[in-house]
Structure 1
Amino acid sequence: MKLTMLGTGAALALKYYNTCFLLEEDGRYLLVDGGGGNELLKRLKSAGADWADIKDIFVTHKHIDHMLGIIWLIRLICNALKKGNYRGEARIYDHEELCALIKNIACALLQEKESRFIGNGLYLIPVADGDKKTVFGRKITFFDIHSSKAKQFGFSLEYAPGKKLVCCGDEPCNAFCAPHVLNADWLLHEAFCLFSQADIFKPYEKNHSTVKDACEAAEKLNVKNLVLYHTEDRSGGKRKELYLKEGSACYGGGLYIPEDLESIEII
């Protein structure tokens, strides 16, 4: 399985696209979030992925830097369905409240001749806490992270027998996430900035982590590999170097600080 980070930036980052990523295996894709605009379409193309081949999508929560790119993808899918040249069907998984919101926005912004395909070729599938589904050929458990900002879900994906990849959305791993994260082979986790820069970026006011916080949590929960994203963009070309230095001091597993469009083999 391959993980490609389409974007790694926080909401107001300008040097990086908003955090969203693609999981790929045997020609199948799972898109997680869409960033804040049609830059998503460019990112998919740059990653070598045809948007029409993405049949499974998961949206963690309603914040604009995660959701609005999905509306552009819905437009393309519905237009292709209208023209009769879309292969198969598309499925968007998210919690019930978000399903309704995405449908309302799409119906308000798209033409009726396009939006009528929502529920007829493109399906919004609500998930509840603890739901288990088979998505893009893999078993996935969805879980409510109990966000204090906006209802938000993460997931645990079994990518091989006895192997799991966990995504906590864009908030710190908390007591509700911990049972899913424990002993994970891979954890995808936000890290807004360095701990040494917390006074500058104020991550805790936004319910985010520092690199040190995320790495300490991963170490405590025996996570084998940790991918950090959803960051500030003022570290310039030193982000990876600085984050690795701070994180490696408190985490002994494989630590990854990807750039936009960087891919990681999930093994």
Structure 2
Amino acid sequence: MELIMLGTGNASVLNCYNSCFLLKDDNNLILVDGGGGSGIFNQLDKVGINWKQIQNIIVTHKHMDHLIGVLWIVRMFCQHTNRNEHEGTLNIYSHNEVIFLIRDFIEKFLEKKDLQLLNKSLFLIEVKDGESRNIFNKEVTFFDVCSNKAKQYGFKINYEENKNLTCCGDEPYNKINEKHVKNSDWLIHEAFCLKSEEKLFKAYEKNHSTVADACRVAEELGIKNLVLYHTEDKNIKNRKELYLSEGKKIFKGNLYVPYDLEEISI
């Protein structure tokens, strides 16, 4: 399986795209979040993916920098399907609040014929805390990250025998989810900024982690491979070097600080 980081930045970045990524197994794709706008199509194009290839999307929460790109894909899916320019289905997995917003968007902003695609070729699939779903013959378990902001779900995917990847969304790890996160082969975790720059970027005030915090969590939980995303972009040119320098002092496993469009074999 390949992890393709379409975007690695937080909500206010200018020098990279908002955090979202693809999980690619052969020709099967799962898009996780969509960033904050139609730029999702540009990011997909840059990695050689046509949006029509995407059949499954996971949306972690309703913040604009994660949801709006998904709404653009929904719009294009409906438009092209009704023009007979696209065949296939689109499945969107999320909790009740996000599912409500996507349905409401279709009702208020798209055409009546687009609404008629629901439960025919466009499926809005509500998942609950602790529920598992089969996506491309892979078990995906969703869990509430217990955010004190917008309701948010992370997930754990078993992508091959005894191998798994866990995403905690863009919130700090909560100990209540230890059973989902501990000993994961891969962990995708937000890291808003360097520990030394926390006061500058106000990571804690915004309920986010520093690089050091994320690495400490990964080390304590026995994570083998840690991927950091949802970062600031002021240090974008030197971000990899700076974050690796701080993180490797704490985390002894394999640490990744990808730029937009980087692909990682997992």
**TM-score after normalising by structure 1:** 0.98
Per-residue deviation, residues 189-237 of structure 1 (Å, max 9, x unmatched): 0000000000100101111000000000000000000000000000131
Post-superposition shift, 1:160?
A: 1.1
Per-residue deviation, residues 100-127 of structure 1 (Å, max 9, x unmatched): 1111023212122323313321100000
Question: Which amino acid letter does the alignment assign opposite residue 55 of structure 2?
Answer: K
* Contact in 1 for aligned 2:31/2:54 (Cα 8 Å): yes
Runs of 5+ unmatched residues, structure 1: none
- Aligned equivalents of 1:177 and 1:211: distance in 2? 20
* Contact in 2 for aligned 1:78/1:118 (Cα 8 Å): no
Residue 116 of structure 1 corresponds to which residue in structure 2?
116
Post-superposition shift, 1:178?
A: 1.9
**How many residues are matched?**
266
Residue 255 of structure 1 corresponds to which residue in structure 2?
255
Question: Which amino acid letter does the alignment assign opposite residue 169 of structure 1?
Answer: G
- Aligned equivalents of 1:100 and 1:116: distance in 2? 16
Post-superposition shift, 1:133?
A: 0.9
Question: Which amino acid letter does the alignment assign opposite residue 248 of structure 2?
Answer: S
Residue 182 of structure 2 corresponds to which residue in structure 1?
182
Post-superposition shift, 1:86?
A: 2.3
Post-superposition shift, 1:83?
A: 1.7
Residue 160 of structure 2 corresponds to which residue in structure 1?
160
Residue 157 of structure 2 is aligned to residue 149 of structure 1: no
Post-superposition shift, 1:96?
A: 1.3
- Aligned equivalents of 1:203 and 1:230: distance in 2? 11
* Contact in 2 for aligned 1:172/1:190 (Cα 8 Å): yes
Task: Give secondary structure in 2 for the equivalent of 1:85.
Answer: coil
Per-residue deviation, residues 14-49 of structure 1 (Å, max 9, x unmatched): 001000000100100000000000000111111111
Residue 61 of structure 2 corresponds to which residue in structure 1?
61
Q: Structure 1 vs Structure 2: percent identity of aligned residues?
A: 50
* Contact in 2 for aligned 1:187/1:223 (Cα 8 Å): yes
Residue 26 of structure 2 corresponds to which residue in structure 1?
26
- Aligned equivalents of 2:82 and 2:165: distance in 1? 36
- Aligned equivalents of 2:119 and 2:233: distance in 1? 39
Residue 139 of structure 1 corresponds to which residue in structure 2?
139
Q: Matches of residues 60-79 of structure 1 in structure 2 within 5 Å? A: 60-79=60-79
**TM-score after normalising by structure 2:** 0.98
- Aligned equivalents of 2:68 and 2:106: distance in 1? 10
Q: What RMSD over aligned residues (CA atoms) do the two structures have, in Å?
A: 0.9
Runs of 5+ unmatched residues, structure 2: none
Residue 222 of structure 1 corresponds to which residue in structure 2?
222
Residue 118 of structure 2 is aligned to residue 125 of structure 1: no
Post-superposition shift, 1:80?
A: 1.8
Residue 210 of structure 1 corresponds to which residue in structure 2?
210
- Aligned equivalents of 1:191 and 1:106: distance in 2? 33
Residue 96 of structure 1 corresponds to which residue in structure 2?
96
